[in-house]
Amino acid sequence: MPTKLILLLFTVLLVIAACSSQPDSELDSPTDSSEYLNNVGSDTMVNLALAWAEQFQKENPQSNLSVSGGGSGTGIASLINGTTDIANASRKIKSEEIDNAQANGIEPNEFVVARDAIAIIVNPNNPIDQLSLEQLSDIYSGKINNWQELGGEDRPIVRLSRETNSGTHVYFLEEVLRLGDKEDKTLFSTDTLLLPSSEVIGAEIRQNPNAIGYDGLGYVTDDMKVIGVSDTSADPSAYIYPSPESVNDGSYPIARDLFMYTAGTPEGFVNRYMEWIFSQDAQNTVTELGFVPIITQ
């Protein structure tokens, strides 16, 4: 009996030791090589962040940048925990996240590094070319259920959306479904398919003529059809297609800023990297990836 007890105690102690030792080891960037930084966050931005990191490493071979996705919330949570130097986010940081960060002694510092347009996509065989923001809202809230009601074929509408953890989902909910009205409590129709990645949305759009979806302009390929969108509050007759020009001049209604957050004012290597991101070189990469650069060229 005592041996059993000792064994049990020993195991419990082992497990406790294993559990408690982890949070202690803080993940500051390795102190001796100051040319290291960690960059976590938005899946929308992950391709852009990777391209930037590669480009920067090519120009500065001694530097070492680690980039990963996971979502805007994941990135900001890592910034709050101090496990990343730069957090990518496709939405603005929430006030409770700022509170959490300040409780940890971190002051999030915001940079708008690029812009993104959300394209409305359908199957190439769908005859519909244009929709208004109101129609999109009615489709996703479940008021319009057949393409016929929009002048299309007699087919049911299958709504595709990113998962609720995606910054794109939240943006679409606020700006399209609720048309920017903060008091509006409209929700996605319960039969909206919540798909885990842009790839799955793309796969369904390509094969299903009933489907409608939305995704960042950078993820749209040639075998999908992009819908022109009109902003009813501005000019209801003008259907605008997403492009760098229409996003930069503000005429395309579903576009947003892409952010990077640093802990406090960036210093040293992080600062050099952030400054480089606003250079012409880095912003050209933004254009190549289908996003919209923040400096006019």
Residues forming contacts to another protein in the complex (CB under 8 A) are 4, 7-8, 11-12, 15, 70-71, 73-74, 77, 96-97, 100, 155-158, 163-165, 170, 185, 187-188, 190-196, 200, 203-204, 207-208, 210-211
Smallest distance, another protein to C-beta of residue 184, A:
12
Is-contact 113 277, C-beta < 8 A? yes
Q: Say how many Å lie between the first and final Cα of the chain, rounded.
A: 79
Smallest distance, another protein to C-beta of residue 29, A:
22
DSSP helix/strand/coil, 176: helix
Q: Smaller CB distance to another protein: residue 72 or 135?
A: 72
Smallest distance, another protein to C-beta of residue 258, A:
18
Task: Name the residue with tokens 């890592």.
Answer: 78
* Token representation of residue 252: 């395309």
* Token representation of residue 80: 């709050």
Task: Name the residue with tokens 């057949």.
Answer: 146
Q: Smaller CB distance to another protein: residue 100 or 232?
A: 100
Q: Smaller CB distance to another protein: residue 64 or 208?
A: 208
Q: Smaller CB distance to another protein: residue 30 or 196?
A: 196
The secondary structure element, H or E, covering residue 162 is: strand 158-162
Smallest distance, another protein to C-beta of residue 216, A:
17
| Residue 292 DSSP class | B
Q: Smaller CB distance to another protein: residue 52 or 214?
A: 214
Cα separation, 134 vs 138, whole angstroms: 6
Smallest distance, another protein to C-beta of residue 22, A:
14
Cα separation, 31 vs 203, whole angstroms: 44
